[in-house]
């Protein structure tokens, strides 16, 4: 591999992240365009590709309409409706509740916490609605502060919001924005992600991977009673959750993507925290094996056995159940299934083929020789991305 490949890949990631972070419609035409969807029961006003503003929904029909327009998360600013955020949450939205009394401005520290939450939701590809009661003053203040945080100056941000009804309405709200505008403006770079949009369309690889999963599940269901009656790991038993599991590249990217799409931020943070703890345990285990003269990289079996002996639990397991059961890796689906009941070579080769294609799409280089694999805890903690870069770097020096 040439040196440029890794760099090119890295640059692509950074470029995509910048586009993602600062993706603001160029002019009022895009706002007008989004407003032209008059057929929706609830009228959203899109400020960026990911952020919309609006008013407090007052019926389940309106909540359905919001969901149908792609919104997955809500910042609710209504102090006057103490129950609304719970109704929104029970309707399946991820909700950040920042109660602000009408005609007032939020406390700066509280607003920054809400903005940090919003940042993460946008980063994870969620579409977010910000609303107060009428969608004017408090919503305008909050949405404008988001634009300031994205690096727009107060003048540009205000001009952007001018074409919506969401604008600050009083001195206290403008004062807060002026104060916030002075201290913000620095975009924090986030960790690289293999799923940064506009770099590679992953859907085609995910479709291939899901087709493989579907075929495995169908084969297992069709198999004889001995196989089809085996307890499903992650649901009926958690035995496999104490085993060391490696994932090929496509599985790691897929699992990370599903976590980002489906977990609410507190669950995601908790699972990542547990994964980091498991990774630390594994490092300790490797060190102890090294002291005994084993090489846990070359002699993988000794690591696998020691891992089981230590009873280290998968970070995705919660109260004996898999938090991503529907999307669990193939190894978990096959746990306990006799080796001669499935064509393991075919499965591994198919995984390798999809991984090779996705690797090429990302790096512009061929993945030759061996399959790239990552431990499940490294995948869940996000550390596998770092390992991926190490791998690219090692190819460059070969």
Interface residues with ligand SF4 (CB under 6 A) are 233-234, 240-241, 245, 314, 316-317, 322, 324, 328-329, 332
- Nearest C-alpha neighbor of 357 from the set 255, 253, 250: 250
> Which of residues 105 and 322 has its CB atom nearest to ligand SF4 in the complex?
322
| Concatenated DSSP letters of 206-260 | HHHHHHHHHHHHHHHHHS-HHHHTSPPBTTTB-GGGGS--EEEHHHHHHHHHHHH
> Which of residues 66 and 275 has its CB atom nearest to ligand SF4 in the complex?
275
User: Looking only at Cα atoms, what is the longest distance across the chain?
Assistant: 74
Q: Which residue has the tokens 């479709």?
A: 207
> Which of residues 335 and 362 has its CB atom nearest to ligand SF4 in the complex?
335
User: Are the C-beta atoms of 161 and 140 separated by less than 8 Å?
Assistant: yes
> Which of residues 148 and 271 has its CB atom nearest to ligand SF4 in the complex?
271
Nearest approach, Cβ of 329 to ligand SF4 (angstroms)?
Answer: 6
Nearest approach, Cβ of 375 to ligand SF4 (angstroms)?
Answer: 11
> Which of residues 133 and 328 has its CB atom nearest to ligand SF4 in the complex?
328
Nearest approach, Cβ of 245 to ligand SF4 (angstroms)?
Answer: 6
> Which of residues 332 and 354 has its CB atom nearest to ligand SF4 in the complex?
332
> Which of residues 75 and 314 has its CB atom nearest to ligand SF4 in the complex?
314
Output the six-digit token pair for 31.
């706002």
**How far is CA 126 from each of CA 18, 70, 221, 265, rounded to the nearest angstrom?**
16, 8, 35, 11
- How far is it, in rounded angstroms, from Cα 166 to Cα 187? 24
First-to-last alpha carbon distance for the chain, in angstroms, is 8
Using alpha carbons only, what angle is made at residue 250 by residues 244 and 255, rounded to the nearest 5 degrees? Answer: 65
Nearest approach, Cβ of 216 to ligand SF4 (angstroms)?
Answer: 14
Nearest approach, Cβ of 254 to ligand SF4 (angstroms)?
Answer: 12
> Which of residues 159 and 243 has its CB atom nearest to ligand SF4 in the complex?
243
Nearest approach, Cβ of 333 to ligand SF4 (angstroms)?
Answer: 8
Nearest approach, Cβ of 371 to ligand SF4 (angstroms)?
Answer: 19
> Which of residues 163 and 335 has its CB atom nearest to ligand SF4 in the complex?
335
Strands (E), the chain: 45-46, 51-54, 71-78, 94-100, 127-131, 246-248, 317-318, 321-322, 373-375
> Which of residues 67 and 243 has its CB atom nearest to ligand SF4 in the complex?
243
Nearest approach, Cβ of 180 to ligand SF4 (angstroms)?
Answer: 42
Output the six-digit token pair for 218.
């169908």
Neighbouring CB atoms inside 10 A of 9's CB total 21
Nearest approach, Cβ of 395 to ligand SF4 (angstroms)?
Answer: 29
Nearest approach, Cβ of 271 to ligand SF4 (angstroms)?
Answer: 10
User: Are the C-beta atoms of 78 and 142 separated by less than 8 Å?
Assistant: no
Using alpha carbons only, what angle is made at residue 252 by residues 251 and 258, rounded to the nearest 5 degrees? Answer: 85
Phi, psi angle pair for 129, to nearest 5°: -105, 130
Query: Beta strand pairing status for 71-78 and 127-131?
Result: parallel
User: Are the C-beta atoms of 13 and 198 separated by less than 8 Å?
Assistant: no
Residues 6+ apart with CB under 8 A from 268: 124, 259, 260
């Amino acid at each position: 591999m040439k040196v440029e490949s890794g760099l090119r890949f890295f640059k692509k990631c950074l470029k995509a992240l910048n586009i993602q972070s600062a993706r603001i419609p160029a002019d009022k035409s895009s706002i007008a365009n989004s407003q032209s969807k008059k057929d929706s029961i609830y009228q959203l006003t899109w400020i960026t590709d990911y952020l919309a503003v609006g008013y407090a929904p007052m019926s389940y029909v309106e909540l359905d309409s919001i969901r149908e327009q792609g919104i997955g998360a809500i910042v609710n600013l209504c102090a006057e409706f103490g129950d609304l955020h719970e109704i929104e949450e029970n309707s399946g939205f991820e909700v950040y509740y920042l109660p602000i009394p009408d005609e007032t401005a939020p406390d700066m520290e509280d607003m920054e916490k809400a903005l940090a939450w919003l940042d993460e939701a946008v980063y994870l590809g969620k579409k977010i609605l910000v609303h107060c009661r009428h969608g004017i003053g408090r919503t305008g203040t909050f949405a404008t502060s988001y634009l300031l945080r994205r690096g727009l100056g107060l003048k540009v941000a205000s001009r952007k919001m001018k074409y919506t009804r969401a604008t600050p309405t009083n001195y206290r709200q403008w004062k807060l924005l002026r104060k916030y505008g002075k201290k913000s403006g620095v975009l924090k770079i986030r960790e690289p992600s293999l799923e940064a949009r506009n770099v590679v369309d992953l859907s085609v690889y995910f479709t291939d991977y899901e087709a493989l999963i579907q075929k495995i599940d169908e084969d297992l269901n069709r198999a004889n009673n001995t196989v089809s009656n085996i307890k499903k790991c992650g649901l009926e038993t958690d035995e496999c959750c104490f085993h060391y599991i490696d994932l090929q590249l496509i599985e790691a990217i897929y699992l990370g993507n599903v976590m980002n799409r489906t977990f609410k931020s507190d669950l995601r943070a908790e699972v990542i925290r547990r994964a980091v703890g498991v990774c630390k345990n594994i490092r300790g285990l490797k060190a102890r094996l090294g002291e005994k003269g084993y090489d846990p990289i070359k002699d993988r079996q000794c690591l696998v056995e020691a891992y089981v002996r230590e009873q280290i639990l998968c970070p995705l397991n919660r109260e004996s159940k898999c938090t991503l059961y529907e999307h669990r890796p193939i190894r978990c689906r096959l746990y306990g299934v006799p080796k001669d009941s499935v064509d393991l070579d075919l499965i591994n080769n198919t995984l390798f083929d999809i991984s090779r294609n996705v690797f090429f799409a990302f790096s512009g280089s061929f993945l030759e020789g061996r399959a790239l694999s990552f431990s499940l805890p490294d995948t869940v903690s996000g550390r596998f991305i770092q390992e991926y870069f190490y791998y690219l770097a090692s190819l460059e020096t070969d």
